[in-house]
Structure 1
Amino acid sequence: MTCVVVIRSVWEDSHVHLVKGLLVAATLAAGATVAQAQSLSLEGGGAASLTGIVPQTYAQFAAEEGISLQVVLGQTLTRSALKLAAGRIDMAVVPPPAFGAMSRGVGPYADQGDQAKAMAENVRALFGFPGGTLHAITWADSGVEDWGDLAGKRVYIGPPAGAASGQIQGMITAASGGLAAGNDYEGVRAPWGAAQQSFQDGQFDVYVALAAVGSQALNELSLQREIRILGVPDEVLSTDAWTEALTKGALVKTQIPAGTYSGNVTGDTDLTTAATSMMMAVHKDMDDDTAYALTKAYWENLESMMNANALMRTIDIDNRFGGTNAPLHPGAVRYYEEAGIEIPANLMP
C-alpha cells in the first residue's frame, strides 16, 4: 500500500482539489494494489511538530489496513477543522480548544456564528495525542531565571490566530503566580515560522516554543549562546491555577527530560511543563468500518511508530483520550469496546 505526503504552507483553496486529483491519479498509476486502496485526505500541522509527524508516520500503517492517506501538512488547524466539518476533507488534526470554539460559534469561528455551531455537529474523534510541548526559552544571561522575571519583558505567546496563544498565556499566569499579558508583560504574537529567528534577532526576551521534545531546531539555539528553559516549580503543580490552566487550555502535564538539549543551563534536571492536546478527527458520515480500521491502525502500531521516530516517544500510550472533547465516531467506539478500553461517558456519540 502507499501513502502520499504533501508539505505545503498556504495554498489557495482553488488549488486544493486540483492537487488532490493529481495525487490520486499518480497513486492509481503506481499499481493495481494501490488502485484497490481507499483514498482519504488528511490535513496536519507543521512538519517538525507532532501535529505533522503523527499524521505522516500514521499514514504508513493506515496503508496496511487498505487506506491510502493523502497527508497535507503545514495547515492552520483551526481552518482544517472547519473544512472537515464542511465535508471538504476526510480527516484532520483538530485542537480541542478549536472544536470547543466552533461548538460555541466564538473565537476564530465568530463570523460563522450559528453556522459554525451547526457544523461542529459533523466532527467525530478517533483518538487523542499530544500536539507539542511548550518550551519557555530565554538566553542564560538575560536575567530571566524564573517565571516571575517575565514581568516587564517581551514574551512570544504564539501566532495571531489559533488556540496556542491562550494556552501559553494560561501556563504563564499559573506558573508565575498571576502575570498577565498586556498588564505585566508584553505579549508578542507572530507566525510560528518566524518566531525562532525573531528571538535570535533580539525581538523578544522569552520565546515560548511549541515543539516536539528533542527538536533539532531548538537544540541549534544553544549554538549561538547558552539558553535557559523554564520548568514549572513543584509548588505550582498542586495549585488550582495550574489545574485551571490545563483544563481550560486542553493541556496535559509533561516533562522535558534532563539532558535533552545541549547548552541549556537548567538541563541537568527533568523540567515540568505542559503539552497541547490534539484529536485525530473525521466527518461523522465516514463509514464505521473505515473509522474502526483507522483507529486500529494507530493504536496497534503506536509502539512501532514511537520506535521509528524518537520525537513521538513523549506520547503516553495509556492516555488515549487526553484533551479529546468531540464525540467519538461509532467505528472508533467499536474498536475500544472490543479492546476492553473504558470510554469516558462524555465522548460517547
Structure 2
Amino acid sequence: MRAWLKTTIALGVTALCSFGLAAPGHAEQRIAYKSAKAGTSYYQMGVELANAIKTGSQGGTILTVEESQGSVQNVMEAAVRQGDYVFTSPPGLVESAMEGKGPFKNRPKESFANIRALFPIPSLTMHFVMRGDQQVDRFSDMAGKTILLGKGSFGATEGEKYIKLFGLEDKIKIASAELGNAADALKNGQIDGFVTAGSFPAPNLVEASASMPVSLVSLTDAQIEQTGRQKQIIPAGTYAGVDKDVATTFLPVEAFTTTAMDEQTAYLLTKTFWQQKAGLGERAPWWKAVTPEMLLKTTVKLHPGAVRYYQEAGLRIPAEMR
C-alpha cells in the first residue's frame, strides 16, 4: 500500500462528514453488535465503538453490544440472525465458514455466503513477554524458561504453534495457570514469561510493565515468514521499559455484517466509523493501530454500502472484494 491510501481516507472522511447514520428527529435505529466475552478487551472495544457510533449519528443509531463466547459463535449466528447484525471475527474464520472448513465443516457453506465486511478493528497481536531480568531478546533465548500460555485462546494456540515451529517444544516448561494471573505470576517469579494475543497496548502487559521491568521477544523476518502470519511492529515506548520496536505477528480482525443489511445503513455505519476513529484513538490507544491498509488483507467481499463509502473516500477496491 502507498502513502496516498492514508491521505485519501483522511480526505474522504473530511469530505463526507456532513451527516451521520440518522438525523435528529428520525426514529432510533438499533443494530446488534456481537462482540466477545464480557470483561475482555474486545468487549470493551465494542462498548467504545457503540459510544462512537451513537455520537457520530447524534443518537440516531444504537449498537447493542452482545456478549459472545468467541468468533466461531459470532460467525455461526450470521447464518440465522434476522435484521441488522454486525459481528467481529478474523477474516480467515469467515473464509473457512464460506468454504465449509474447520469448525464449519458440518454446516452448509451456503448459509455463510452472504457475509460481507465493513471495516477493520484492532488486530490480535502476538506478545511474547519476559521478565526484564531474563535477558531474552530472541525466541531461542526462551529455552530453559517457564512460560505461561493459558488455555483455549488464540494466543495460547498460536504460542504453542510457534514453540513447536522454532524447535523449543522440549526446551520450554509450560506453566499450568490461567492467563488472567500472568502479571502476578511474572511479578512473583513463578514464571519467566507469558504469551498473550490482543490489541496493543494489551491491558495485562500494561499492568505488568508498570510494576516491574519486562521485555518483549522480537521475531526475525524469517521466523515471521515461517508462521504464515503477517508482520506487525509494536512501536518503541508502547510499554514501559520497552524502548525499541518489536517485530511480531498479528491476525487481522474485522467488523462484518450480511447482505440483509441495506446499502444505506452499511454505507453510513462505515462512514461514521472512520469519522470517529481519531476520537476513538484519543480515548483508547489500541484504535490508533487500525489503518485502511488492514482492509485489503482479506478476500472476504465488502458490503456494497461499504464499497460505496471507500470509493467516495478515494480508495481503490480490488474487483474481487466488491
Name the counterpart of 1:334. Answer: 308
Name the counterpart of 1:44. Answer: 35
Q: Which amino acid in the other structure matches residue 274 of structure 1?
A: T
Give the 5 Å matches for 1:138-177.
Answer: 138-142=130-134, 144-157=136-149, 159-160=151-152, 163-169=154-160
Give the 5 Å matches for 1:194-205.
Answer: 194-197=181-184, 199=186, 204-205=191-192
Name the counterpart of 2:116. Answer: 124
Q: Displacement, 1:322?
A: 5.0
State the superposition RMSD in angstroms: 3.2
Gaps of 5+ in 1: 1-32
1:279 paired with 2:254, answer yes
Q: Which amino acid in the other structure matches residue 291 of structure 1?
A: A
1:220 paired with 2:207, answer yes
Q: Which has the higher contact order (CA 8 A, sep 6+)?
A: 2
1:60 paired with 2:51, answer yes
- Tell me: CA distance 1:307–1:227, structure 2 relative to 1, closer, same or farther (3 Å): closer
Name the counterpart of 1:254. Answer: 233
Q: Displacement, 1:136?
A: 0.8
Name the counterpart of 1:231. Answer: 218
Name the counterpart of 1:13. Answer: none
1:71 paired with 2:83, answer no
Match of 1:321, SS? Answer: helix
Q: Report the Cα distance in structure 1 between the residues aligned to 2:199 and 2:300, rounded to whole angstroms.
A: 24
Gaps of 5+ in 2: 1-23
Q: Report the Cα distance in structure 2 between the residues aligned to 1:202 and 1:105, rounded to whole angstroms.
A: 45
Q: Report the Cα distance in structure 2 between the residues aligned to 1:270 and 1:206, rounded to whole angstroms.
A: 19
Name the counterpart of 1:16. Answer: none
Contact 1:87 1:283 in 2 (8 A): no
Name the counterpart of 1:295. Answer: 270
Contact 2:50 2:62 in 1 (8 A): yes
Q: Report the Cα distance in structure 2 between the residues aligned to 1:307 and 1:169, rounded to whole angstroms.
A: 34
- Aligned-residue sequence identity (percent) comes to 23
Q: TM-score, normalised by structure 2?
A: 0.76
Corresponding pairs, count: 295
Q: Which amino acid in the other structure matches residue 236 of structure 2?
A: P
Q: TM-score, normalised by structure 1?
A: 0.71
Name the counterpart of 1:313. Answer: 288
Q: Which amino acid in the other structure matches residue 261 of structure 1?
A: Y
With 284-293 and 199-208 compared, the bigger mean Cα shift is at 199-208
Match of 2:295, SS? Answer: coil
Q: Which amino acid in the other structure matches residue 217 of structure 1?
A: N
Q: Displacement, 1:282?
A: 0.6
Q: Report the Cα distance in structure 2 between the residues aligned to 1:105 and 1:86, rounded to whole angstroms.
A: 16
Name the counterpart of 1:115. Answer: 107
Name the counterpart of 1:210. Answer: 197
Q: Report the Cα distance in structure 2 between the residues aligned to 1:187 and 1:329, rounded to whole angstroms.
A: 43
Name the counterpart of 2:86. Answer: 91
Q: Report the Cα distance in structure 2 between the residues aligned to 1:287 and 1:268, rounded to whole angstroms.
A: 47
**CA-to-partner distance for each residue in 1:65-124, whole Å, 9 max, x for gaps?**
3321101346422212211232267111111232233234343x1xx5241533321321
Contact 1:254 1:273 in 2 (8 A): yes
- Tell me: CA distance 1:86–1:196, structure 2 relative to 1, closer, same or farther (3 Å): farther
Match of 1:327, SS? Answer: coil
Q: Report the Cα distance in structure 1 between the residues aligned to 2:98 and 2:177, rounded to whole angstroms.
A: 26
1:136 paired with 2:98, answer no
Give the 5 Å matches for 1:259-270.
Answer: 260-262=238-240, 264=241, 267-270=242-245
Match of 2:315, SS? Answer: coil
